[in-house]
Amino acid sequence: MSKRQEQHIWTYRGRRLLRIEWGLWKSLDDPIEYFLCYRAAGDKGTVTRQFAYLGPRLDEHDLRDHCREIRAQITAAKAGIDAGRAIAELRDTYLADARRRQLSDKHLDNIENAIDGFIACTRTSHTDDLTVDAVHEYLQSIRDRSPRTQNKNRTILSTWLGWALKRGWIAANPVLCTDPVTEVHHHPTFPMPRQLLQIIRASAPYDRAIYTLLALTGLRWGSLASLRLDCFTDTGITVPHTKRGTEWLIRYDDGCPLWSSDLSRIGRRIFTDPAHQPLPTAYERIADSFVAASIAVGPRYTLHGLRHAFCSWQALMGESIEDIAAWTHHATPLTTQRNYVHLRPHGQDRVARNRRYVFTCRSHMLRHALALDDRK
């Protein structure tokens, strides 16, 4: 037995106990005996170890559940909880506290929707009715949503009930007994600069300008469709509409290595081209043309993959996650980090090689987009 394990051995009524985790001990003399260690109510200073016998529990899952139940009973006894509260009152009090903390409107809406959905699904009116089964019933009802949304609602419920537990209004937090949904991160597919250059060469002149503008600005199609001719200036591009509902100014001097005044020339070329059509109505044709051109030269990519390409190329060139999030107008850098941090290279030599590769292909894209070279 190691010295580290010896430090966790305690003797209780002639039994040698070994700590497994916080509050849970097992007998060294009889491996099937487990005990719960807790601090008696009112004790101060040195922790007085008292043990509640859990009995022979062979199933580890049942053992941990039983451990939580006894711990909740001990917590309730220490806090003097003898009656719960109405769920509606608990909800209103928590929302008022959240507003005092000056949380964002989006966060407050998420909290309100999660709690209201839980109350409506479980039809729970009192905290005494809060059980693990009630939480599982609610989590099962939102399984049609993404794992990220399910875990977000689970976190909101856990925070809400933990807040109530800390104030002594409930005896246990049933959300802590549920397992989070496994979230599988699918890294977005995007064309490398050389692949996009081949797609551009296989496309019509008007479509080349569209693809290049999307790939070198990182704009979503919805933002691009709201542009006008007067949005393109020599200093930047004014985007009147974004996914977040705010105006966005792309300034060429903001430090983004892919931006330049040539983008304004491409934008003016798009809106003065005889083939120009209202972009919202031309989306399906341009998207289908891009998919067909990508299949002709290699893997299948979508038009939204050009936005992923912009972010990925920046990461390959060693740009910081915060800068990429600002250039792409992501709501939080966590979105950028989750999808693109794995692409950042290690070592200055690799960064320099990637920059030369991206810049070389970028110059060819600009030349084709400006119709200076129509050779296929």
Which amino acid would we find at residue 122?
T
Helix (H, G, I), strand (E, B) or coil at 302: coil
CB 310 within 8 A of CB 218: yes
**pLDDT for 329:** 87
User: Rounded to whole angstroms, what are the CA distances from 167 to 3, 79, 93, 251, 258?
Assistant: 40, 9, 12, 50, 53
Report the alpha-carbon distance of residue 315 to residue 324 in Å, rounded.
Answer: 8
Q: What is the DSSP letter of 181?
A: P
**pLDDT for 44:** 44
**pLDDT for 376:** 41
The structure tokens 């980090």 sit at: 337
Helix (H, G, I), strand (E, B) or coil at 185: coil
Q: Quick one: tokens of 329?
A: 């107008």
Positive or negative, the CA dihedral 87, 92, 95, 96 is negative
The structure tokens 């693809």 sit at: 211
Report the alpha-carbon distance of residue 227 to residue 224 in Å, rounded.
Answer: 5
Q: What is the DSSP letter of 341?
A: G
In degrees, rounded to 5, the angle at the alpha carbon of residue 71 between the alpha carbons of residues 66 and 72 is: 100
DSSP labels, 311-345: HHHHHHTT--HHHHHHHHT-S-HHHHHHHHGGG--
pLDDT tens digits, residue range 103-159?
A: 778 888 889 989 988 888 877 777 777 777 888 888 888 888 888 788 888 888 888
CA neighbor of 156 nearest in space, from 114, 125, 126, 94: 114
CB 57 within 8 A of CB 63: yes
**pLDDT for 292:** 93
Helix (H, G, I), strand (E, B) or coil at 294: helix
Task: Tell me which residues of the chain have a pLDDT lower than 50.
Answer: 39-49, 57-58, 81-82, 373-376
Question: What are the structural domains, with CATH classification, of the chain?
Answer: 3-79 (no CATH), 87-177 (1.10.150.130), 193-369 (1.10.443.10)
Which parts of 80-141 fold into alpha helices (H)?
87-100, 105-122, 132-141
**pLDDT for 276:** 85
Helix (H, G, I), strand (E, B) or coil at 39: strand
Largest CA distance in the chain: 93
CB 21 within 8 A of CB 35: no
Ranges of beta strands (E only) in 129-212 are none
300: exposed, middle or buried (C-beta count within 10 Å: 0-12, 13-18, 19+)?
A: exposed
**pLDDT for 68:** 62
In degrees, rounded to 5, the angle at the alpha carbon of residue 224 between the alpha carbons of residues 330 and 189 is: 55
Which amino acid would we find at residue 227?
L
Q: Which residues pair with 51 in a beta bridge?
A: 37
Q: Where does residue 124 fall: left (phi above 0), alpha (psi -120 to 50 degrees), or beta otherwise?
A: beta
